[in-house]
Amino acid sequence: MFDYRSLFDLSNRVALVVGAGSGIGQASAQGLAAHGAKVWCADVRLDAAQETASMIHEQGGEAEALFIDIMDTESIAAALAQTGPLDVLVSTPSINVRKPLLDYTSEEFDKVIALNMKGTFQVVQAVARGMKEREKGSIIVFSSIRSQVVEPGQSVYAATKAGVLQMMRALAAELAPSGVRVNLIGPGVVETPLTLQIKQFPDWYNAYASRNALGRWAQPGEMAGAVIYLASDASSYVTGTILFVDGGWLAVDGRFSPPLPKS
């Protein structure tokens, strides 16, 4: 009989959360630990990773802090040597340079592509190899609504988010025969260090809030449910897809709500 009560139980599973030092990564680590996983909180800022691990300990969970630089394959290998076999990978890091494409420098282009695309590729590839050998695992990569829709100043960032989506879809097809699942999460506007710049401009911040159906920004913790779902047996038949957690951003066509006849 199917045990529906254990669908979200992550006991005895080991998860690596890259970018766990803040924002969505921190919330993901806390959510996974709350559902029973041992979580390796990894970040290029070790002190931030340690803070997240301490928060999990205070909440009664199991966690370890870990340094990782996804731009350095040796750093990735060293990190995985510490974690041992993994059941779950959550990859969150990305950067954005907001400016018109015609004003982009080659250095800025390379910087965004390098972290968002190559960095993600390197850490996912390293973890996926072990999962394929063990014939189990769940890989979760954060994309964005910008994989689908764009705005001025988001060209290169959007390109990386669309690129990561297609790269992970292909990987899902390649790993499916081995029992490894690969999925993505596409957040809308979330209050994180990456979006702090926007919060400093009330008109900009409020315009984004009004753009989605719920009329507000998300908090990082609101991404954790999707992470737990994709990491758990509740999503055992889900692979190669992207789950948008965007407050209805992609469902709403424009900011103006036309007057409609009352029923």
The pLDDT of residue 231 = 98
Query: With the C-alpha atoms ordered 137, 143, 149, 155, is the resulting torsion angle positive or negative?
Result: negative
Question: What mean pLDDT comes out for the span 86-93?
Answer: 98
- Rounded to two decimals, what is the model's pTM? 0.95
Question: Residue 260: is its pLDDT beyond 80?
Answer: no
Alpha helices for 101-195 (secondary structure H):
106-113, 120-134, 155-175
- State pLDDT tens for residues 125-138: 999 999 999 999 99
How would you class 66 by CB atoms within 10 Å of its CB: exposed for 0-12, middle for 13-18, buried for 19 or more? buried
Using alpha carbons, list the distances in angstroms from residue 15 to 99, 117, 172, 214.
36, 21, 18, 31
Question: What mean pLDDT comes out for the span 77-105?
Answer: 96
List domains and CATH numbers for the chain: 11-246 (3.40.50.720)
The pLDDT of residue 253 = 73
| Pairwise CA distance, residues 88 & 137, whole Å | 6
| Pairwise CA distance, residues 208 & 247, whole Å | 11
Question: What mean pLDDT comes out for the span 81-109?
Answer: 96
194 band by pLDDT with thresholds 50, 70 and 90: confident
Question: Residue 124: is its pLDDT beyond 80?
Answer: yes
Question: What mean pLDDT comes out for the span 21-49?
Answer: 98
The residues that are catalytic are 157
Question: What mean pLDDT comes out for the span 105-119?
Answer: 98
The vertex-37 CA angle with 33 and 41, nearest 5°, equals: 60
The pLDDT of residue 195 = 85
203 versus 178: the higher-pLDDT residue is 178
The pLDDT of residue 255 = 63
- State pLDDT tens for residues 196-207: 888 889 999 999
Question: Residue 256: is its pLDDT beyond 70?
Answer: no
Question: Position of tokens 């076999």?
Answer: 85
Question: What mean pLDDT comes out for the span 148-155?
Answer: 93
